[in-house]
Every structure is written in structure tokens, then in C-alpha cells.
Amino acid sequence: MAVLQLDDIAKKYNRKVWGVRKMDLEVEDKEFIVFLGPSGCGKTTCMRMIAGLEETTRGTITLNGRDITDLAPRDRNISMVFQNYAIWPHMTVFDNIAFSLKLKKMSSVDIKKTVEEVAGMVKIGELLKRFPGQMSGGQQQRVALARALAVKPKLFLMDEPLSNLDAKLRVVMRTELKAIHQKTGATSIFVTHDQSEAMSMADRIVIMKDGEIIQVGTPDDVYFRSADMFVAGFIGTPPTNFFSVEFRKEGGQVMISHPKFQLDIGEEEAERIAKAGVSELVLGVRPEDFILVSEGKGILHTQVLVVEPQGSHQVVAVEIDDQIYKIIVDSDQHLRPGDPVSFDFDRSRLHFFNKETEKRI
Ligand SMILES: Nc1ncnc2c1ncn2[C@@H]1O[C@H](COP(=O)(O)OP(=O)(O)OP(=O)(O)O)[C@@H](O)[C@H]1O
Ligand SMILES: [Mg+2]
């Protein structure tokens, strides 16, 4: 079992550059956590601090109630798989996987059993006699995973382990990794900057930006209840569409107004916005929450700019007030560039943000 706790950890490189500014997080036993964020936001730095490969500048790391902040990496019972999987080219697959088991002085019978077990898990059971140079990138990646799994770590850290694979293999491997996690139950942290990978794998996603955590939540939390505009714009393909709007009360009527449309909203929502005490808002609408209606109906009238067929649906780009918006429309709607289109919004799925702080209202 493994429960990990990060208390106010930070890392400053060379007393100058913040790798991680502040992170507080509790990872539950058997949980599959994904760190998601743009390049340079501190994902690798945080993983390296947890593994003990980087000293912390501040804060405490606790594993199962024990302070491991200053413990040597080998004493932490943590395995880490890196982006450039770093397997040894002069060793066979078997020896690569067996390496740390030999260091642990495991008997050769047990080593063989363990190697075969983990090799089977990642489907390289047939390749144990080969050298890394005789295998594809995807197979080498599996060797790195098998090697990390072999030591039966309490905590399994994976830093973009699929980044060297082609798009199709990535999708296959992410399903397999999830299946392996279900089998081993090892508490895991997985790093990616691919939001769809994060959504499909995580129990909870930790969204990071500039060395800090912006939101921690289930895939549904971060998608349907994005904490701010950064999250709403980062999660989802295409991401959330944003409109600068004004919140107004006219007589008893509450109105959201944009230069191109007016929107009446529910009482509860109006109350929440009124409480926030701001009139300048940003309205967020997910691409699938636009409703295509017959021409002239709805609240928003524009023209089709570009159509991107995706098979199961199509992404339609339209221009509204000099900005481009992407909308998901059923495949059976025959739309062409220049066609006039009218939309309404799914009123139950609107997101409002404070224009100044960009936080969810
Ligand atoms: N050894 C180092 N010395 C100085 N600065 C570093 C060092 N390693 C990382 N940084 C800086 O710390 C910040 C966080 O880097 P980190 O590698 O943790 O980001 P990341 O989220 O893993 O990015 P990526 O998605 O590109 O892998 C960046 O600004 C980076 O330039
Ligand atoms: Mg990194």
C-alpha cells in the first residue's frame, strides 16, 4: 500500500529558476494520478523530487506516514520510468529487467519467475533474449516499464513514458498501462502534456501551470467544472470557446450581453454572478454545447468558415465578432463554407469566469 503526501514542496534551481513554486497534494492508495500541464510547468521536477533525484528547496514528502524528503532514492521503494526510457543497450531484455532484482540479491529462481511475470504483463515475453537494438521503440518502451514494475514498487512514477511512440501505439499502450495498474494496484503518478491521455487514464488529474497546481479533480471535474479559463482552454478538443460578455440587470430581467447576442440565464446562475459582484465576464461554451437550429432561430447567427470532418462528428469553424469559434456538429448535417448557420447554447452547460481573475464563478 502507498499513500503519498506532498506538503508545500518547492524547487528553485541554482537559487534562480523556480521548477516548482508550491505543491500540496495527497495521493491515495492504489490511485492513478496524472500530472498534466504545458511544457516547463514543473511536472518532471516534481516527479524527480518524489523519487529523490532532486533535492527539495522547501516542504515535506511523506510516504505511508514516513518523512522521505531527505531519503536516498534507493531507500524509497519508488520506481520511475523516464521519457527517454534509458534501457541498457549491452544487456538482453532479460538482464535489463533482472538488473535491480540481482542487486537486491533475489534468488535466480525468483528472478526468472518475476522477469517472466512482468514481461508477460507488458507483452514482451517472447523477446527476453533480444538486445534493445533489435527491437522497435514501442518494444523498448515496454522493457523500461517491465524493469520498473519488476521491483514491485510501492509507488510507480512514469514521466511521459509514451512520448516516443507513434500516435496509434500510444493509444494501445495507454489502455495496457491502465490494465496493468488495475492488476498490480500500485499507486501511480503519470506525467503527460496530452490532455486526452490524461482524461482517459486518470482517477484524478493534477493540472499544473508555472510551477503550481491549478486544479485537482476527476476527469469530469476538470472538464465540466474547470476551475479557471486556463483549465477550460486546456482540456477538451477543440477546447472551450470564450466570449467576453457583460452581466446586466434591466428591470427584473437579468441579461448576459455580447455585441452579437443576448442571453437570458436561470435565476440560480444569475444570483451566483450577482454575488460575485462583477459585470465583466467571460462566458465559456464547450464545442458540443452549441445547438445548431434552423436558420434564423436561436440566438447566434453567423456563417460557416471551415468544416473539418472527423468521422463520428464534424468540427465547424465560424467567425463571430472577429474571433474564430469551433463547434461540434453531427456528421449528417451537410454544411459548406459560406452557409448561414444559427445556434443556441445548451443553457444547462454554460461556464462563467471572472474576466479579471479568470477564475470560475
Ligand atoms: N536542471 C535544471 N536547472 C535549471 N532549471 C531547470 C532544470 N530543470 C528544469 N528547469 C526549469 O524548471 C522549470 C520546470 O521544468 P520541468 O522539466 O519540471 O518541466 P516539465 O513540466 O517537465 O516540462 P516538459 O513537459 O517540457 O517535460 C522549467 O522552467 C525548466 O526550464
Ligand atoms: Mg518533463
DSSP element (H, E) containing 44: helix 43-51
- Ligand in nearest proximity to the CA of 209: 1
Residue-level pLDDT at 323:
93
Residue 90 confidence (pLDDT): 95
What pLDDT is stored for residue 50 in this prediction? 97
Residue nearest to atom 18 of ligand 1 (CA): 42
Residue 359 DSSP code: B
User: CB within 5 A of ion ligand 2: which residues?
Assistant: 44
Burial of 77 (0-12, 13-18, 19+ CB in 10 A): middle
pLDDT at 52: 95
pLDDT of residue 123: 86
Q: What is the pLDDT of residue 168?
A: 83
Q: At what angle do helices 137-150 and 93-103 cross, to 10 degrees?
A: 20
Ligand 1 center to 293 CA (angstroms): 47
- For position 306, what pLDDT does the model report? 97
CA of 360 to the centre of ligand 2 (A): 28
**CATH of region 4-234:** 3.40.50.300
How close is the Cα of 39 to the center of ligand 2, in Å? 7
- CA distances to 189, 202, 215, 225 from 221, in Å: 18, 12, 9, 5
4-234 and 241-354 share one fold: no
Q: Is the CB of 54 inside a 6 Å radius of any atom of ligand 1?
A: no
Ligand nearest to the CA of 15: 1
**What backbone torsions phi and psi does residue 129 show, to the nearest 5 degrees?**
-90, -10
The domain spans of the chain are: 4-234, 241-354
Give the homologous superfamily in CATH for domain 241-354.
Nucleic acid-binding proteins (2.40.50.140)
In degrees rounded to 5, what are phi and psi of residue 67? -70, 115
pLDDT at 33: 98
Tell me, using a 6 A CB cutoff, whether residue 19 lines ligand 1: yes
Phi, psi of 148 (to 5 degrees): -70, -35
Taking the chain (361 residues) in runs of 10, the rounded mean pLDDT of each run is 96 95 98 96 96 96 96 91 83 94 92 93 92 88 89 90 82 87 92 92 97 98 97 95 91 86 88 90 97 91 95 95 94 94 94 96 94
> Which amino acid would we find at residue 45?
T
- Tracing cell 523498448 back to the chain, one arrives at 140
Question: Rounded to an integer, what distance in angstroms lies between the CA atom of residue 96 and that of residue 179?
Answer: 23
